[in-house]
Structure 1
Amino acid sequence: MKSIKHSLLGIIILALLFFGIPITSAAQESDIDFDKPVVLVHGIGGSSTNFYSIERKLRSVGYSRSDLFAINFTDRSGNNYRNSRQLRDYIDDVLRRTGADQVNIIAHSMGGSNTLRYLTQLGGVSKVDKVITLGGANRLGATSVPSGVDFTSIYSSSDLIVSTSLSRISGANNIHVYGVSHLGLLTNSRVQNLIVENLKN
């Protein structure tokens, strides 16, 4: 009986592989809370389009387009004062539109600093579950992560724009990767796998 079950399982796996169906997606999805929308926060001179590759990755593990929200700052100079306030209003609108209690944030570059100022100065902690920064200029926004937020900082020693000393921050899960440029953090497959891993509960 066991041999029959093993044979059937083998046939199913072969069929999934033949038709190109990813057999790991269910395992990847199982620990992600899809009830929390994801807010994508760009850096200086950036825009929502910076996250095209990350959005595609997130959709591949179970997020829908309606789960993903990318802000476009009016002031693209990275101004902490203005951008953190626009981010506050944007997240309030996302929560109102989705009915969710909290969001998760993925931020690149100065977007990390803007996010930390929102968390520490504008009451954002209660509205955010997880934050993942990519080459984040985190220490320009705060010296440590506020309690109550699951914070991951992913940064690269090959980043010539934001130094690792700005990205590393007390209280975070600090992850050092190698051989990835500042903009490459937005498209690198290893980094995207780390993003998915750190969105899990």
Structure 2
Amino acid sequence: MHRTVVIAGLAGVLVLASGGSSHAEPPDSFPEAVLYSVVHPGAKLLGVNDFECRPSAEHPEPIVLVHGFLENSYDNWASLAPRLADEGYCVFALDYGAYEGIPFGGLGSIADSAAELSTFVDAVTAATGASTVSIVGHSKGGTVPRYYVEYLGGADRVSKIVALSPPNYPTPGPPVDDALAGLNSPVDTVPGVQYTVIVTRYDQVVPYQASLLTGPGARNVVIQDLCPANTVEHTGISYDPVAQQLVFDALVGGDLDAATC
């Protein structure tokens, strides 16, 4: 991610936030959700992080949502998380890599972020009684779970990783993390884990080819291969109806070629 773009965008958000704007209803777009999460620190996602939730027979695995770099659980998942909860999943959203006084996280190394994810998954499985979880991540939040299953014992706790526009391979500009080299050699997947990567050709942050996995157990979906007129970009992909439909299909092991445009 280009630092100047990030800093300029963050500055603009904070200027807007100082005006005290708010929403009567949860926002349904990424820019609105960013602003809402700044104006309302600690905003909660509807139906999410209920540690008394018990998985159903229909949806036996809790869903763990992992936000991206310079994001938080609210602005990343304000649209998708309530939909998953309404569908009957036990849904949990992690905030990680944050510093006091900064409204956005994902700032630590991939290794440190994966350690936070490990602790969170332990709490989710202990509370729900589930033996495994499915993880849905955006951007860096789609790469962090790979480190967790590769190095921190997550392969025994994670059945599926569904990643939206993750930086799985090096891209032009500042490197995401040295951890990528280890994660991709000799193969970029871990046995027993199902990987689904959902990308857009219009990604302005991570070239979509750098997201694609090649190892056993990986499925890659380019949104425009299904819906050529779709122009969703990096920050908006978790709000995109087609991407969300693909997430739901991936979680149940369904057909990824049947999206409704």
Q: TM-score range by the shorter chain?
A: 0.7 to 0.9
Is 2:250 aligned against 1:198?
A: yes
TM-score by length of 2: 0.61
Aligned to 1:173: 219
Report the 3-state secondary structure (helix = DSSP H, G, I; strand = E; otherwise coil) of the residue aligned with 1:173: strand
Structure 2 gaps, min length 5: 1-56, 99-105, 170-179, 225-230, 254-261
Is 2:213 aligned against 1:161?
A: no
Is 2:44 aligned against 1:44?
A: no
Q: CA contact under 8 A between 2:118 and 2:148: conserved in structure 1?
A: yes
5 Å matches for 1:106-121?
Answer: 106-121=136-151
Q: Distance in 1 between matches of 2:252 and 2:121?
A: 21
Structure 1 gaps, min length 5: 1-31
Is 2:159 aligned against 1:129?
A: yes
- Measured against aligned partners, the alpha-carbon deviations of 1:81-119 in whole angstroms (never above 9, x if no partner) come to 210111111101111111100000000001112111111
Deviation of the 1:78 alpha carbon: 4.6
Q: Distance in 1 between matches of 2:150 and 2:123?
A: 19
Equivalent residue in structure 2 for 1:34, among 46, 59, 75: 59
Is 2:209 aligned against 1:184?
A: no
Which one has the largest radius of gyration?
A: 1
Seen in structure 2, the aligned counterparts of structure 1 residues 157 and 196 have a Cα distance that, compared at 3 Å, is same
Normalized per residue, the structure richer in helix is 1
Seen in structure 2, the aligned counterparts of structure 1 residues 150 and 95 have a Cα distance that, compared at 3 Å, is same
Is 2:192 aligned against 1:148?
A: yes
| Higher mean C-alpha deviation, range 93-102 or range 140-149 | 140-149
Aligned to 2:116: 86
Deviation of the 1:137 alpha carbon: 1.3
Report the 3-state secondary structure (helix = DSSP H, G, I; strand = E; otherwise coil) of the residue aligned with 1:161: coil
Is 2:91 aligned against 1:68?
A: yes
Q: Distance in 1 between matches of 2:118 and 2:88?
A: 26
Q: CA contact under 8 A between 2:167 and 2:206: conserved in structure 1?
A: yes
Following TM superposition, the consecutive aligned residue runs of length 4 or more in structure 1 with deviations greater than 4 angstroms are none
**Aligned residue pair count:** 167
Report the 3-state secondary structure (helix = DSSP H, G, I; strand = E; otherwise coil) of the residue aligned with 1:94: helix
Point out which structure has higher relative CO (alpha carbons under 8 A, 6+ apart). Answer: 1
Report the AA paired with residue 220 of structure 2: N
TM-score by length of 1: 0.78
- Measured against aligned partners, the alpha-carbon deviations of 1:21-69 in whole angstroms (never above 9, x if no partner) come to xxxxxxxxxxx95110000001111111011111122134332xxx111
Identical positions, percent:
32
Q: CA contact under 8 A between 2:97 and 2:107: conserved in structure 1?
A: no
